[in-house]
Each structure stands twice: as structure tokens, then as C-alpha cells.
Amino acid sequence: MKHSFLDHYSEGNSLIHRLDPRTKLITSLLFILAVTSTPPTKWPAFAIYFCLIAILLFLSRVPALYVLKRSLVIMPFVLLIAIFIPFFKEGEVAGSYNIWLWQVSVTYSGLQVLWNVVIKAWLSILSLILLTSTTKFTSLLKGLEQLKMPRVMVMVLSFMYRYLFVLVDEVMRMKQARDSRNFGKQQRMRTVANMIGTLFIRSYERGERVYAAMLARGFDGQMRTLDRLSFRKLDACFGTGFGLALILTNLLY
């Protein structure tokens, strides 16, 4: 079975796609830093951040609808955390309701925090979507490695990338096998629990076999790699340009 839900559209060839993954990683990180550290009252700054990211998305030629859909995926999580803030924050009351025995009131400052959390999360996720849909996962890993992220973590990520799909296939096969034998009856909790157990054991044993395959090719616990990324003028220009834009936005508004 084939999957590519992790780095869809990363095969493109736009200006953004051609940037060095390190440039993209660092600028994304800077962007998120800038967004999260901007005080909620500076709303024009957020407008500018949005414009910046929109321009880059446009340049990357990743379909807008796809980006929008993906960015909405995190909203439930953000809302789940942030939705209660307006009720608990102290301050001027914007509205007050009686729900059964409870007296609930919403404050203006609370609403502002809610809005602020949502917009910051959304802008950050947009930048990450831009990053992942213009960079192949493998180059991303190389980038992380060369930015001196600990080797072990890069290895873990790369195994995740490699075996996620194998695991998904395994789950699908197990599901098919189960469904073809349970004759339309309700699924039982026990079957599901057994499947999870089996999956765990299978993954564990696969881990052992993969490790054996690594040993067989001279692995001795030390991780070695080749350098093969190129940091070009384009990257330098993009990096400084984008960094300046962020700093100016932060200072001016």
C-alpha cells in the first residue's frame, strides 16, 4: 500500500521548495517565535504575519484549500484548551448567563486571550504546513541533523517515518483478517485489546530484526552520516529578508 500523507506536495519545484531545509526550519521557528511573543493588542502585526505566510504559500503553489483543511485539523485541540479561558479570566464582564444552578460570566480580557490563542496557534500551524508541504521528510531530517539536533532523536524520527507505513499496513491487514472472521457481529473490546497487544509484540520483534540488520552492516552504536545539503545565496537572501520582515513587524506595531 502507498501513503504519503506526511509530506504531500513536497515534490514540487517552486522557489520555496528549492530552499535549503535548514533555512526553512530556522525561519519557521523564528516565525513561530515572533508570532507567539507578539502581545495580543498589536493586531496589525498579526495581519502582517498572515500576509507574509500567505505570500509564501502562494509562492510555493501548494493549493490553498489543502492548506486550509489541514490547518483546521488542530483547531479542536486548541479550542478544547482555550474555550474555558473567557469564563475564568477576571475583568470587565461582557455577558453573564445562568445555566441551571451556575452563574457564568464571560469577560472581555478573557475573550481577548481566547482570540489571541486561536490566532497564534493558527498562524503557527500555517507556517508548519508550509514547511512540511514544501520539504521532503527526508530532507527535513537531514536539516535537523545538520542543525545539530541530537542524532538519536533524528534516528527515532527517521525510523518513525520509515515504519509508520509498515505499521499502518499491518493494522489494516489485521482489521481485514478480523472483519472477515467476525461475521458481522459487534466488535468486542477483547478483540481490539488483543489486536493492540499483537501489534505491540510484532513491532517489538520487528525492532529486534531491524537492529540485527543494522548490526549485520557494521553498526556499532555510533551513528555516522554524510553531509549533502547546500546552503546557497538564495537561502541567505531569503533568510535575511524574512528575518528583517519579522523584526520590523515586531518593532513597528
Under the rule (CB under 8 A), what is the footprint of other proteins?
2-4, 137-138, 141, 158-159, 161-163, 165-166, 206, 209-210, 212-220, 224-227
As a whole number of angstroms, the distance between CA 22 and CA 28 comes to 10
Residue 132 or 250 having the CB closest to other proteins: 132
As a whole number of angstroms, the distance between CA 29 and CA 245 comes to 14
Residue 95 or 197 having the CB closest to other proteins: 197
Task: Select from 167, 250, 171, 172 the least CA-distant residue to 210.
Answer: 167
Min dist. Cβ of residue 247 to other proteins (A): 35
Min dist. Cβ of residue 206 to other proteins (A): 7
Task: Select from 142, 129, 155 the least CA-distant residue to 72.
Answer: 129
Min dist. Cβ of residue 212 to other proteins (A): 5
Residue 115 or 165 having the CB closest to other proteins: 165
Residue 6 or 74 having the CB closest to other proteins: 6
Q: Which three cell numbers stand for residue 55?
A: 505570500
Which of the 8 DSSP states describes residue 43? H
Min dist. Cβ of residue 63 to other proteins (A): 22
CA-CA-CA-CA torsion sign (117, 118, 120, 121): positive
C-alpha angle 188-193-197 in degrees, rounded to nearest 5 = 150
